[in-house]
Amino acid sequence: MSPPPLSDKFKELNDLKEKARLGGGAEAIEKQHKGGKLTARERLEKLLDPGSFAEVDQLVVHRCHDFDMDKKRVLGDAVVTGYGTINGRPVFVYSQDFTFVGGSLSEMHAKKIAKIQDMAMKAGAPCIGLNDSGGARIQEGIHSLAGYGEIFYRNVMASAVIPQIIAIMGPCAGGAVYSPALADFIFMVRKTSYMFITGPKVVKAAIGEDVTFEALGGADAHAKLSGVAHFAVDSDEECLKQIRNLMSYLPSNNMDDAPIMESADPPDRMEEELNEVVPVDPKKPYDVHDVINHIFDKGSFYEAQAQFAPNAVVGLARLNGRSVGVIANQPMVYAGCLDIDSSDKIARFVRTCDAFNLPLVTFVDVPGYLPGTKQEHGGVIRHGAKVIYAYSEASVPKLTVIMRKAYGGGYIAMCSRHLGADVVFAWPTAEIAVMGPEGAVEIIHRNELMKAKTPEEVKEITNKLVADYRNKFANPYIASQMGYVDSVISPKETRPMLIKALESFVSKRDLQPRAPKRHGNIPV
C-alpha cells in the first residue's frame, strides 16, 4: 500500500495547528470576550511586534487519565508559549488560556512555562508571563504542585539576571500567586483580575469575614494596600501597551545597558520655575512630582507603585535619553517621612535598578522615620534598615539631590555620601542636621527655656534660638565644608548638573573589592 500523498500530511499539520489556535473552542472564546478579556493569543498579538511571534510546544497535551480527563484534551494544554520581539528586541513569553479548564496548571502546562524560562535565560532576554488561570489542576494532584515548584525555582534563578514581568489578567489564586511575587514587575487589570492565597469562600469559612473578590485581591487592593502590584490598569489592551512601554526602560539582561533613546529635550535646559517649587516655609508641603517633571526628559517619568506608600515616589525616567531609577520623598504625605511601607517600596526598587544597571537618582526631603507604636511594633527599624542595606549594596552610579529637610537617620538612609553616593548636590533650601531646629532647641536649651517665667517669654526665646540654630546648622554649607555635599546648586541647574554627573559615572567601577560571601543578609 502506497503512503498518503505529501499534501495530506501538510493538511494534517494545518488542521492540528488550527485546532490548537481554537483553544477551548469558539464558545469558550466568546465567553472570554463577554467577560471583557482578550484570549491568550490575542494578548500576544497586541504585546509583540506584528508577525514576530514564534510558538513553541503548540501540540502539547496533558497526560492525566483520572477523573475522565483523558476525554478532555486540547492541543497546547491551556497555555501559549514562544518568543518574539518588542520594539525589535527579543523576549520570551507565555500566555495562559482560560478557555480550557480555566487555564489551570497541569504537569505539561508547567513544563511549557519552565521551558520558556530556560530559553529566556539561555538567550539573556526578558521573560513575560500573562496569567489567567484558576490555579493548580486538582485532577493532577502532586504533579501540578511539582509544576509550580519548577516554575518558582526558575523565577529565583532568573532573578537579577533577566527582567521578569508578569501581568495578572484574570484569576490568580493559591500557589499561583508566588511566581508573580518573585517577578520584577507586576501588572493587574481592574475588575477582571485578582490575586489571593485563599478566596472569599475560604475566608468566610475560616474567620467569618465577608469580602468580595475585588476587595480581597483586586487590582486596586494590591496596588494601594498590599503593594504587590506595581501597576493597575483598566483593560487588557492598556496592560499590554504599558508592558511595551516598561520594556523601553529596561536592558535585556544584567550584562546589558538599557536602550538609549534619542531625546529632543536639551541637556542644558534650565527652568526658573524650579527655583519656586520648594516653599520658603520649611513646614509647607509641595508635590515632588513637580520637581521630577521639571528635571527629567519631558514626559519620560514612569511611576511605579504610585498608589502604595505615597510618602515615597519611585519610578523610571530618562536623563538625556538614558534610563535611570528615580526615588524621592513626597512632602505631601506624612511630610515625606519614611515608614514601614515606604521603606519596603524604596529598598525593593533600588535593588531592582541595581540588578539591571540603572543609575539611581534620589531626591531628599525627609524629616526622619515616622514615629509611633504602630510603626515601632510593626518593625520600622527592621524595614527602615532595608533602605540603608539597598543603597549601600548598590554598585550603579548613585546621584543624590538634597532639596530641603535631611534629618537624622533619614538623611543617612536616603543615599547619603556615607552610603556610597557618587555625587551629592544640595539646594540652598537644604537643611542637613540631626533633627529639626525646633526639636534640637528643646533638647539643647531645655534648662534655659525652663527658666522663662511666662509662655510669651518661652515663645520669644524659642523663636530666637530656632532662628540661630537654623542659621548655624540647618543649611547645606556645613555639610559642604566637610565634603559630604559636593556642590550647592540652584534648583534650576539640577538637570544639566545631573546629566554631567551621569555621563561622568556611566562607566563606574567599584575600586574597593568586597569581601567574598555567598550573599548578604538583608533584614527581610
- Higher local confidence (pLDDT), 445 or 430: 430
Which residues form the domain of 165?
6-247
Model confidence pLDDT, tens digit, residues 57-100: 998 887 766 766 776 778 889 999 999 999 999 999 999 999 98
pLDDT of 68: 65
CA–chain centroid gap for 331, Å, is 21
205 domain residue, yes or no: yes
- Please name which of 44, 38, 101, 110 lies closest in space to residue 69, comparing C-alpha atoms: 101
Question: DSSP code of 135?
Answer: S
Mean pLDDT rounded to a whole number for the chain: 92
Cell of 54: 514564534
* Alpha-carbon span 125 to 458, nearest angstrom: 66
pLDDT band at 436 (very low <50, low <70, confident <90, very high): confident
Q: Which of 146-155, 280-289, 442-451 has the highest mean pLDDT?
A: 146-155
Give residue 64's pLDDT.
Answer: 66
Note the pLDDT of residue 510: 79
What global pTM score does this model have?
0.93
Residue 372 above 80 pLDDT? yes
Domain finish residue from 247, 263, 291: 247
Same domain, 238 and 279: no
pLDDT at 12: 85
Which grid coordinates belong to 437?
Answer: 531646629
277 and 242 housed in the same domain: no
Instruction: Tell me what pLDDT residue 450 has.
Output: 74
pLDDT in the model for residue 22: 85
Confidence of residue 280 (pLDDT cuts 50, 70, 90): confident
**Same domain, residue pair 82 and 177:** yes
**High-pLDDT (> 90) share of the chain, %:** 75
Output the pLDDT for position 488. 97
* Distance (Å, whole) CA 74 – CA 400: 55
Same domain, 19 and 166: yes
Q: Which candidate, 208, 203, 235, places its Cα nearest to that of 219?
A: 235
| Range with lowest mean pLDDT among 220-234, 336-350, 370-384, 510-524 | 510-524
DSSP characters over 225-279: II---SEEESSHHHHHHHHHHHHTTS-SSTTSPPPPPP--S-TT---GGGGGTS-
Report the pLDDT averaged over residues 177-200.
95
Same-domain check for residues 54 and 105 = yes
- Residue 444: the pLDDT is 81
The domain spanning residue 121 has which CATH number? 3.90.226.10
d(CA 466, CA 336): 22
Q: How confident is the model at residue 474 (pLDDT cuts 50, 70, 90)?
A: confident
Say if residue 340 is in the same domain as residue 402.
Answer: yes
Tell me if 461 is assigned to some domain.
Answer: no
Mark whether 128 and 167 lie in a shared domain: yes
226 and 351 share one domain: no
Instruction: Please report whether residue 518 resides in a domain.
Output: no
Residues 220 and 322 in one domain: no
Q: 221 and 317: one domain?
A: no
Domain boundary among 194, 214, 247: 247
DSSP code at position 65: -
Residues 294, 340 within the same domain: yes
The pLDDT of residue 62 is 75
Most confident of 20-29, 114-123, 466-475: 114-123
pLDDT, mean of residues 241-262: 97
Asked whether the beta carbons of 200 and 211 are under 8 A apart, the reply is yes
Phi and psi of 45, rounded to 5°?
A: -60, -40
- Residue 311, pLDDT above cutoff 90: yes
pLDDT bin (cut points 50, 70, 90) of residue 134 is confident
Where is pLDDT greater, at 8 or 310?
310
| Mean pLDDT of the 161-180 span | 94
- Please indicate, yes or no, if residue 267 is contained in any of the structural domains: no
Domains in the chain: how many in total?
2
pLDDT tier for residue 41 given thresholds of 50, 70 and 90: very high
pLDDT average, residue stretch 287-311: 98
Please write the tens of the pLDDT for every residue from 193-217.
Answer: 999 998 999 999 999 999 999 999 9
Is 344 a residue whose pLDDT tops 90? yes
User: 335 and 284 in one domain?
Assistant: yes
